Structure 1
Amino acid sequence: MPVILAIESSCDETSASVCRDGKILSNHIANQTVHEQYGGVVPELASRAHMQNIVPVVDVALQRAGTSLTDVDAIAFTQAPGLIGSLLVGSQFAKSLALALNKPLIAVHHMQAHVLANLIPEDRPSFPFLCLTVSGGHTQIVLANSPSELKVIGETLDDAAGEAFDKSAKLLGLPYPGGPLIDRYAKEGDPRRFSFAEPQIPELDFSFSGLKTSILYFLQKETKANPDFIRENLADLCASIQERIITILLKKYKRAALQTGITDLCIAGGVSANSGLRNAFLEMCRHNHWKGFVPPFEYCTDNAAMIAITAYHKFLDHQLTPLSVSASARAGWD
Structure 2
Amino acid sequence: MNDIRYSRRTFLVSSGAAATWLALPAGAQPAATGWRPTRPVRLVVPYPPGGGIDIVARFIAPRMQERLGQPVVIENRGGAVGMIGSENVYRAAPDGLSFVVASADTHSINPHVYADIRYNAREFAAAAPIATLDYMLVGRPGLEAGSMKELAELGKKRELTFASSGVGSSAQVVTEALKSRYGLKMLHVPFGGSAPAAAAVMGEQVDLVMLPIAIALANRSKVKVFGVASDKRFEGAPDIPSLAEQGFPIGLEPAWIGLMAPPRTPPEILREVNLIVGEIVRDPEAKKRLTTLGLAPYTATMEEFAAHVNAEYDRWGKVVRAAEVKADSPK
TM-score when scaled to structure 1? 0.30
Relative CO higher for 1 or 2, CA cutoff 8 Å, sep ≥ 6? 2
TM-score when scaled to structure 2? 0.30
The structure with the greater share of residues assigned to helix is: 1
